[in-house]
Chains A and B, each alone.
Chain A
Amino acid sequence: MGKTLAEKILAERSQSDARAGDTVVARVDLAFVQDTTGPLTVRQFRELGFPGVASPGGLAVFLDHAAPSPVRQLSNDHILLRGFARETGCHISEVGEGVCHQLVAERFARPGDVIVGSDSHSVTAGALGAFATGLGSSDVAVAVALGRTWFRVPETILISLVGEFPRGVQAKDLALYLIGWLGADGATYKALEFGGEALPRMTMAQRLTVANMAVEAGAKVGLFPGDEVTREFLAGQGRGHSYRPLRADGDADYERVISVDLGELEPMVSLPHVVDNAVAVGKTAGVKLQQVFIGTCTNGRLEDLAVAADIMGGKKRHPDTRLLVAPASRQVLSQALEAGHVQKLIDAGAIILPPGCGACLGLHQGVLGDGELCLSTANRNFRGRMGNPEALVYLASPATAAASAVAGEISDPRELI
């Protein structure tokens, strides 16, 4: 019997057979922390009493959630993390460089890697064929000390994609549709693996969006193969040497196979307060919005800003609707400036935020008022997510977000393109 992608990677990294259900100890290629979970990781690491980290080159610290810091306590956490990076010689990504998951994709992830981050959206790097998953601070501290961590090898649900996205329908709509279908716990403890004839046409930006949201169905990883799209992306990042082809065996054993025809998808919206509460945009159109937020590790990439700029170009945001745009990284911001997307968005009335996470988790930059509604391109709409338990967060694609910012209410982007 052949192996799924998850089994294949864990078998290599644990030097064992690694079949679904086995418990393995796997070598970790990259462990990383961000600024709201990193300080606890550092304290736990010190508590472990190890003389040093297993591999400074396989450790990265990202200052992205509070970037720049809005409050003294978080500034002090940044000082702690900078000190830890100096002591260990590990990578550090300063305030303003961008969101950890985008930077892991741009700078670190390789097909076949095992990556652990103290952030649940660490699954994002599954887009590059890395077994990438979120762990808590203690687990990451141990991975930093030992260079290894333990996993139960997950069963795999294969998502077979066929067809092409209709105009105005995006990878985010696929992600919301799938989570709605599977349920927020439909893939708990399992791997999602993406395959099918549509895959060669899915860009890395689209793959990153879909992999990013695997955790919203409870999954441990959301894995794409290493293929030509991966090779081109890595080459474009100056990391062509990091590429290797990687795919599941043809006779791999999947727990189930779900087939999705992309051509039948519609723009989707997740209603408050759970992500699997996903409906076609028509069912919630007309809901008035006080804020629209385009950005995050889910949808803050160049392609996302391009779609928003195209839809909003020459138009204005609705006067009652604030529009926040946060590029996922400095590279994205720079490329979006060069391509003219940023100017179009500014002309449409957008506020450009520094690359980072702040607004998404309600830490700063765009905290909602009581009773306010926000349509966001992020991955979570939990109560209190954007800093106020009395506010409502809806999730959608960048195209739906841009169309809705113009209309001042939830709108079908297919009407504007």
Chain B
Amino acid sequence: MYDIILRGRAIRLGDSISTDDIIPGRFAHLRSNLPQLAEHVFEDVLPGFISRVKQADILVAGRNFGLGSSREHAPLVVKMAGVRAVLAESVARIFYRNAINQGLPALLCRTGGISDGDELEIDLAGGTVSDLTSGARLDCSPMAPLMLAIVQEGGLVPYVRKHGDFAMPGGSGGGHSDGV
């Protein structure tokens, strides 16, 4: 069963970290070779990140984390590097959805008081972050039930494999064409 209490060490980032900062577009040719692609995560903005990051680390960013491209490879390589969760003041919409879909929880809270290296504890369901180093306790919005369920299954694909659908009411069918 997926643990909804996560514990890890903070890696600090600033504002407006784009998907090009996370995994630059110039490595598009490595996207079908994920282990090779993952070697370049944060290469331009945090040189040496890949040798510094440890299993269960937590990325702590400022405003508008993950703005830019829809490349799901961004949360994918972050997760492959060992990161367990992302905390930010705000997260760009597509990155947020992609992170959840990759089973990487992303939570919004006031991150300004968290320092690099702080030991953090996150309660995903309750929506709290405890900075065990500084003793501060931060409220964040709890994850929506559907999103928590997707994260607990390890991502959207395993979730839909198991449930066959979104566990919500909805229409059916779809599709049209207009020429080629």
Q: Which of A161-169, A262-270, A345-353, A377-385 contacts B (4 or more CB under 8 A)?
A: A377-385
Contact of B93 with A220 in the complex, beta carbons under 8 Å: yes
Interface residues of A in 51-88 (CB under 8 A from B): 54-59, 65-66, 71-74, 76-77, 80
Interface residues of B in 31-62 (CB under 8 A from A): 31-33, 44-45
Q: Interface extent on A, as a size class?
A: 35 or more
Supposing A23-B146, A384-B21, A384-B25 touch, asked if A138 and B31 sit within 8 A by C-beta, the answer is: no
Residue of A nearest to B68 (CB): A382
Cα A137 to Cα B157 in complex, Å, equals 10
Contact of A136 with B21 in the complex, beta carbons under 8 Å: no
Cα A57 to Cα B174 in complex, Å, equals 9
Supposing A136-B72, A189-B93, A361-B28 touch, asked if A389 and B44 sit within 8 A by C-beta, the answer is: yes
Residues of A within 8 A of B16 (CB): 184, 274
**A49 at interface (Cβ–Cβ under 8 A)?**
yes
**B132 at interface (Cβ–Cβ under 8 A)?**
no
Interface string of B9-37 (1 = CB under 8 A from A): 00000001010110011101111110000
Secondary structure dominating the interface of B: loop
Cα A108 to Cα B179 in complex, Å, equals 7
Cα A158 to Cα B72 in complex, Å, equals 30
Residue of A nearest to B34 (CB): A40
Interface residues of A in 160-200 (CB under 8 A from B): 184-185, 188-189
**B94 at interface (Cβ–Cβ under 8 A)?**
yes
Residues of A within 8 A of B76 (CB): 40
Supposing A54-B173, A184-B16 touch, asked if A138 and B24 sit within 8 A by C-beta, the answer is: no
**B64 at interface (Cβ–Cβ under 8 A)?**
yes
Contact of A150 with B20 in the complex, beta carbons under 8 Å: no
Candidates A14, A58, A136, A380; contact of B176 at CB < 8 Å: A58
**B135 at interface (Cβ–Cβ under 8 A)?**
no
**B3 at interface (Cβ–Cβ under 8 A)?**
no
Candidates A55, A117, A142; contact of B157 at CB < 8 Å: A142
Residues of B within 8 A of A93 (CB): 180
**B105 at interface (Cβ–Cβ under 8 A)?**
no
Query: How far, in Å, is B56 (CB) from chain A's closest CB?
Result: 23
Q: Give 14 A-B pairs besides A107-B180, A138-B102 with Cβ atoms closer than 8 angstroms.
A: A15-B171, A25-B168, A25-B169, A36-B71, A37-B71, A37-B72, A58-B176, A77-B32, A120-B69, A135-B70, A135-B94, A220-B93, A362-B25, A389-B24
Q: List 20 A-B contacts (CB under 8 A).
A: A23-B144, A27-B171, A27-B172, A27-B173, A30-B176, A58-B176, A73-B32, A74-B29, A107-B179, A108-B179, A113-B176, A134-B70, A135-B97, A136-B70, A138-B102, A146-B160, A362-B25, A382-B18, A382-B21, A383-B45
